[in-house]
Structure 1
Amino acid sequence: MSALVCVARIGAAHGVRGAVKLWTFTEDPFAVRRYGPLLSKDGKRQFEVATAREAKDHLVATFKGVTTRDEAERLNGIELYVAREKLPATDEDEYYHTDLIGLAAVTTDGEPLGRVLAIHNFGAGDIIEIAPLKGATLLLPFSNAVVPEVDLKGGRVVIELPQEIEGDDPSTSRPGLVRKAQEGRDP
């Protein structure tokens, strides 16, 4: 089975006829209707969006076969996935998280650092998490300044480790934690 990519998360029931709040992680929120059946993380359950309408910061959706509030409530928290090949191609310098996770991380000098563990976004920009060969996990801005090269075919990302973080006291800083996530990021 190919890699699965999380495209949405089901939230609380909405109303009494089986509708749910649906948070999508796609550029176009309604794209979840075009991918065909959506899968649970383990791939054992399928969900097909029957209707969807825009709400304040999410969609209100119904799924085929879900007609009551009780049925909708049991879906709360389920993440929905599609096979990687069903997603559109990315532009240059755009990547799906699943394409990056597991890549080797090396310094600009070619020294091994570890592997890409995850990509996070806590609201201030994308953060790349590196599981190092030794030491503490590294959390770094996913920016051109810190990650100057992503080589999917070569299976690696090149990391320019920051020397010092402005305002940090070196005696109290936590190695690998970068607070200026936007620094060096292209518009």
Structure 2
Amino acid sequence: MANENHILIGKIGAAHGVKGEVRITPYTQFAEDIAAYGPLITDRPGLTVTITDLRVQKTVAVARIEGVTDRNAAETLNGVSLYVEREVLPEPEEEDEFYHADLIGLEARLEDGTVLGKVSALPNFGAGDLIEVRDPRSGDTYLYPFTRAVVPEVNLADGYVIIVVPLDAEIGEEEPD
């Protein structure tokens, strides 16, 4: 079962074809890297999976899983999340590279120290990474570009990020009806 030392690296989707292949949405920098970590931990108790063959098709990986030989078996894996132990991942090579798991839960602050909330996700809808901040008072979430201009400081040791709110954004303001 996944825990805080496990890093999510992909999610199995639909079966692909009739010979037991599955589609995997990889959360690794390069889709093919998901097969490089050996047996993968899953969010299903007692289940680990080993990718024996993988090819990349656009934004998904099509994989053969050890022991899965037909479509019915592949369909039972739909929705399974794939994890690795944190210590098997290499340390980021660049100063401004981070694992999403290391950022989620950090406090988000303005430059003057005002707390905006906590980092709740780092989505990418195709136009670049975003940083999602949840305001604990209202429950509202705010999306900011995850760029050096908007997030000039990430302090993992002290548990916070600095957000410079873009001029066209209003914090805590309601949208007009």
TM-score band w.r.t. shorter chain: 0.7 to 0.9
Mapped to 2, the partners of 1:61 and 1:105 lie a distance apart of 38
Between Structure 1 and Structure 2, how many residues are aligned?
A: 170
Structure 2 residues not aligned, in runs of 5+: none
Task: Quote how far apart the aligned CAs of 1:56 are.
Answer: 4.2
Unpaired stretches in structure 1, ≥5 consecutive residues = 175-187
For 1:76 and 1:172, the matched residues in 2 are separated by 38
Match of residue 32, structure 1, among 34, 39, 52:
34
Instruction: Say whether 1:107 aligns with 2:110.
Output: yes
Is the contact made by 1:104 and 1:116 (CA closer than 8 Å) also made in structure 2? Answer: yes
Instruction: Please state whether the residue corresponding to 1:140 is helix, strand or coil.
Output: strand
Residues 122 and 54 (structure 1 numbering): CA distance in 2 closer, same or farther, change over 3 Å?
closer
Residue equivalent to 2:21: 19
- Counterparts of 2:58 and 2:111 in 1: how far apart (Å)? 44
TM-score w.r.t. the length of structure 1 is: 0.80
Query: What residue number does 2:160 align with?
Result: 156
Q: What is the Cα-based RMSD across aligned positions, in Å?
A: 2.3
The sequence identity of aligned pairs, in percent, is 44
Contact 2:44 2:80 in 1 (8 A): no
Could you say what secondary structure the match of 2:37 adopts?
A: coil
Query: Bigger CA drift: 79-88 or 52-61?
Result: 52-61
CA displacement at 1:171 relative to structure 2: 8.4
> In structure 2, do the counterparts of structure 1 residues 111 and 55 end up closer, same or farther at CA, with 3 Å as the change threshold?
closer
Q: Is the 8 A contact 1:3 1:98 kept in 2?
A: no
CA distance in 2, matches of 1:151, 1:31: 27
- Within the candidate set 44, 58, 62, 2:60 is matched to 58
Query: Using a 3 Å threshold, how does the CA distance of structure 1 residues 143 and 75 change in structure 2: closer, same or farther?
Result: same
- In 2 relative to 1, CA 156–173 (structure 1 residues): closer, same or farther, beyond 3 Å? farther
By how many angstroms is 1:49 displaced? 0.6
Relative to structure 1, the CA distance from residue 108 to residue 173 in structure 2 (aligned partners, 3 Å threshold; closer, same or farther) is farther
User: In 2, distance between residues paired with 1:59 and 1:124?
Assistant: 21
**Match of residue 177 from structure 1:** none
CA contact (8 A) 1:101 1:117 kept: yes
User: What do the CA deviations read for 1:108-159 (whole angstroms, capped 9, x no partner)?
Assistant: 0112222111111111211111122434322211111111100011111011
Moved runs in structure 1, 4+ residues, more than 6 A? none
Matches within 5 A, 1:1-187: 2-41=4-43, 44-90=46-92, 91-135=94-138, 136-165=140-169, 172=175
Amino acid at match of 1:27: Q
Kindly provide the amino acid, as one letter, of the partner of residue 106 in structure 2. Answer: L
